[in-house]
Amino acid sequence: MRIQFPDLARPKQAAKNLVRMSPDLQLSAAHEALAHVLGYRDWHELSSSPRSNTSTAPFEADDALRVVLGLADALGLPDPDVQYAISKARLLQHWSIDNHLSLRSAIWRQRVFGPPGRGKPGTIVRDKAYGANEPAYLRQAGRPTYLLFDTGMGVRADFEVAVPRIPLADFVPSRLWLPYGYWTLQDGSEVIFARDYLPMWRIAEGTVERLDPWLWINGIAREFHFSQSAATVVWASGPARELALRYLEERRIFELPKLVDVMPHLFEVDVEAIADGVGKLREQRGDGQTPPAYAEINTRISFG
């Protein structure tokens, strides 16, 4: 399927964003890969093709999945980075957080977990303990059974877990993307953190940047929790969730934080907590960048 644009502004910006993801990536290579996944023979054909007189419609989910995975394979980039790069260029048009969550879980199902099955890690099961009947990812079957819920990890007896006949919808656990609160730093910037107090975003002078979850933030002047403001102890649903989502929307944060990228590592046998997954992620990425002035490497996280 060929995807048309009213001009080259979005494809050009997407290519620039992709190049920023890797010091070895050439802009010409990003141009050619983009042209191919958008349905063109090469960048020249994309540049010279007839333009749509109206704004392009938002990408369909299947198109977005094909574009992200096609670019990741062609350029040798992690698919979460590709998803973020093309979204920031508005190549996906105005996708909501829900759109990004659905796309990310679809990529996991295709690239990480594969088809669901009884006893297979990554299968969505039902937690029947305490009458909850809530969906959860199976991390490890057995006695006990290890699960990943929307709000974090847990353990159940095997008889408290049921495998539905009809596969349940995949999801991105709120523990990995929904803000728990934010810190106001001494320089006036804000750092949004997750339930495990791992940093996700920094907002400074109207600019939003994704943060590595293995950073320890210094210079905190104030701490704010969405649940406390909403007068509730429940952080992942109800008023606290609505407050956190409104906070993101007001700051035009529609993409997903790097913390979400730990998801595949949470199914490794030696991972017992979210922080363990963060350590695995940093080990995989081999990130040797110097921390920014307001942060340092979190020594509470074990790295390989």
Q: What is the pLDDT of residue 229?
A: 87
93-97, 128-132, 258-262, 299-303: range with highest mean pLDDT: 258-262
Average pLDDT over residues 98-109: 97
d(CA 20, CA 300): 29
Query: The pTM is what?
Result: 0.93
Token pair for 208: 């939003």
Whether the pLDDT of residue 253 is over 90: the answer is yes
What pLDDT was estimated at residue 52? 61
Write the CB contacts of 11 (distance below 8 Å, at least 6 apart in sequence): 5, 31, 34, 35, 38, 46, 89, 91
Q: What is the per-residue pLDDT for 23?
A: 85
Judge whether 138 and 122 are in contact, CB under 8 Å: yes
Choose the weakest-confidence range: 122-126, 231-235, 286-290: 286-290
Task: Please tell me which residue, 48 or 222, carries the higher pLDDT value.
Answer: 222
- Cα separation values, 268 from 138, 263, 280, Å: 12, 10, 9
- Tokens representing 258 are 């790097």
Q: Is 146 left (phi over 0), alpha (psi -120 to 50) or beta?
A: beta
Average pLDDT for 238-263: 97
d(CA 72, CA 77): 5
> Which residue is associated with the tokens 């406390």?
228
Q: In this predicted structure, what is the pLDDT of residue 4?
A: 81
Cβ-in-10-Å burial (0-12, 13-18, 19+) of 83 comes to: buried
Distance CA 134, CA 148 (A): 11
Evaluate if residue 8 carries a pLDDT over 70.
yes
127-145 mean pLDDT: 93
221 pLDDT above the threshold of 60: yes
pLDDT tens-digit profile of 270-288? 999 999 999 999 998 876 6
The predicted model gives 43-48 an average pLDDT of 91
Percent of the chain with pLDDT over 70: 96
Of residues 206 and 195, more confidence is placed in 195
As a whole number of angstroms, the distance between CA 208 and CA 222 comes to 19
pLDDT at 132: 80
pLDDT digits (tens, 9 = 90+) for 16-40: 999 999 889 999 999 999 999 999 9
Q: Residue 215: its pLDDT value, please?
A: 97
* Mean pLDDT over each residue of the chain, to the nearest integer: 93
> How much is the pLDDT for 51?
67
pLDDT tens digits, residue range 52-97? 655 555 678 899 999 999 999 999 999 999 999 999 999 988 899 9
Q: What does the pLDDT average to over 126-145? A: 93
At 94 the pLDDT is 82
Helix/strand/coil (H/E/C) assignment for every residue in the chain: CCCCCCCCHHHHHHHHHHHHCCCCCCHHHHHHHHHHHCCCCCHHHHHHCCCCCCCCCCCCHHHHHHHHHHHHHHHCCCHHHHHHHHHHCCCCCCCCHHHHHHHHHHHHHHHHHCCCCCCCCCCEEEECHHHCCEEEEEEECCCCEEEEECCEEEEECHHHEECCCCCCCCCCCHHHCCCCEEEEECCCCEEEECCCCCEEEEEECCEEEECCCCEEECCEEEEEEHHHHCCCCCCCCHHHHHHHHHHHHHCCCCCCCHHHHHHHHHHCCCCCCHHHHHHHHHHHHCCCCCCCCCEEECCCCCCC
